[in-house]
Amino acid sequence: MLSAYTGHLAALGAAALWAFTALFIEGAARRVGSLTVNLLRLVFAFVFLSLVGLLSRGQPLPLDATPHNWLWLAVSGLAGFTFGDLCLYRAYVVIGPRLSSLMMALVPPITALTGWLLLGETLTPRDLLGMTLTVVGIGWAILDRGRGSESGPIAVSPAGVALGFGGALGQAVGLILSKIGMAGYDPFAATQVRVIAGTVGYSLLFFALRWWPNVRTGLRDRKAVGLSWLGAFFGPFLGVSLSLIAVRDTVSGVAASIMALTPVLIIPLVILFRKERVGIGGLIGALIAVTGVALLFL
C-alpha cells in the first residue's frame, strides 16, 4: 500500500529535512556569508554521497553513469544549485526574505508547467485543487510570519522580483531535468552528479569574483563549518536525494507542491528552538497548506 505513495512520502521527507537545513544554513551564513556556505555544503554533501556510494554500490563515484545521465543531471545541478540558489540568495538582499520566500511558492506551478511541456505530465482536477491550496497556504503563512521580522513595507524592485523568479525557475527546471537525467539511475548517485556540477559552477564563479580568500576565512570558523556539515547532511545529501525519488515516483508538480511545505514545517521548529511567536494567520495558512497536501495524497 505504501509503495503507491513512495513519491509523496519522499517529497514530504525532503520538505521536513529542508526545514532543518534552513536553520543550519542560516546560522552558518550569518557568520561567513551565504556564498561560502553554499560551496561548503556541496563539498560536504559530496563526502556523504561518496560514502553512501561506496557502501551501497561498491564505488564512491558515479563512474557508471551514462552520458545521458551526466548531461542532464549536470545541467540540472547548474540550474538548481548554482543558478537557482544564487538568484534566491541575491533576492534576499534586494527584496528581503519575506517576498523572496513568497516567490519560491511559484516552484510548484512552474514545475507542473515544465513537466507538462517536457514530459507530457498531466494533473487531475484534485491535484490542481491540492496544489492551489498548498501554494495559497504557504504564501499566507510566509506573509504572516514575515510581518514580525521585517519592519516597514515590502521592498519591491523589478531586479529583485526577477531574481526571485530566477530562483524559483532554477529550482523547478532543476527538478524536471533531474527526472529526465535519472532514467532509472540510482538517486543518490544522481544527486552526486548534480552536486559535482554545482560545485564546479560555484568554483568558476569564485574565481571570477576572487572569492576564495573568503572561503579560507570561513573555514577557520569552526561553528560555521559545523553548521555547514549539518546543513549538507540534511540538505544536498538526504533532502535532495529524496526529492529525486519524489519526482521519479510521482508527477513532478505534485512532488514540488509537497516539497514546498518547508516554510510551513519551519514554524514548529522556530517556536520550539527560537521561541518565536506565530500569529493566527500563520497557523491558518499552515492548515490550508496541509489540507492541500492531504488532497494530493488521496
Question: Does the pLDDT value for residue 22 go beyond 90?
Answer: no
- The closest of 266, 265, 255, 85 to 187, measured between CA atoms, is 255
Residue 151's pLDDT is 46
1 band by pLDDT with thresholds 50, 70 and 90: low
pLDDT at 197: 97
Among the ranges given (6-15, 36-45, 86-95, 132-141), the one the predictor scored with the smallest mean pLDDT? 86-95
Q: Which three cell numbers stand for residue 182?
A: 535519472
CB 173 within 8 A of CB 79: yes
Is the alpha carbon torsion for 277, 279, 282, 284 positive or negative?
positive
State pLDDT tens for residues 160-209: 889 889 999 999 999 999 999 998 899 999 999 999 999 999 999 999 98
Calculated CA dihedral for residues 157, 94, 261, 142, nearest 10 degrees = -70
pLDDT for residue 269: 81
3-state helix, strand, coil split of the chain in percent (to 5) is 85, 0, 15
Confidence (pLDDT) at 76: 97
Question: Lowest mean pLDDT: which of 156-160, 177-181, 219-223?
Answer: 156-160
> Whole-number mean pLDDT of the chain?
88
- Whether 149 shows a pLDDT value over 60: the answer reads no
Residue 141 · residue 267 · CB < 8 Å? yes
Provide the percentage of residues in the chain whose pLDDT is more than 70.
93
Question: Would you give the DSSP letter of residue 279?
Answer: -
Q: How many helices (H) and strands (E) does the chain have?
A: 14, 0
pLDDT of residue 214: 92
What pLDDT does residue 23 have? 84
d(CA 134, CA 202): 32
User: DSSP class of residue 221?
Assistant: -
Contact 218, 94 (CB under 8 A): no
Distance CA 67, CA 130 (A): 37
Is 225 a residue whose pLDDT tops 60? yes
The single residue listed with the C-alpha cell 563549518 is 225
pLDDT digits (tens, 9 = 90+) for 91-136: 877 877 677 778 888 899 999 999 999 999 988 899 999 999 998 8
pLDDT band (50, 70, 90) for residue 2: low
Provide the residue type at 48 as one letter.
F
Burial grade of 203 (CB within 10 A; 0-12, 13-18, 19 or more)? middle
The reported pLDDT for the residue numbered 145 is: 62
To 10 degrees, what angle do helices 34-57 and 222-232 make? 50
Question: 9 or 146, which is more confident?
Answer: 9
- At residue 57 the predicted structure's pLDDT band, cuts being 50, 70 and 90, is very high
How would residue 34 be classed by pLDDT, with cut points 50, 70 and 90?
confident
260 in Cβ contact with 107 (< 8 Å): yes
**Least reliable range by pLDDT among 15-29, 68-82, 160-174, 275-289:** 275-289
Q: What are phi and psi of 207, to 5 degrees?
A: -65, -40
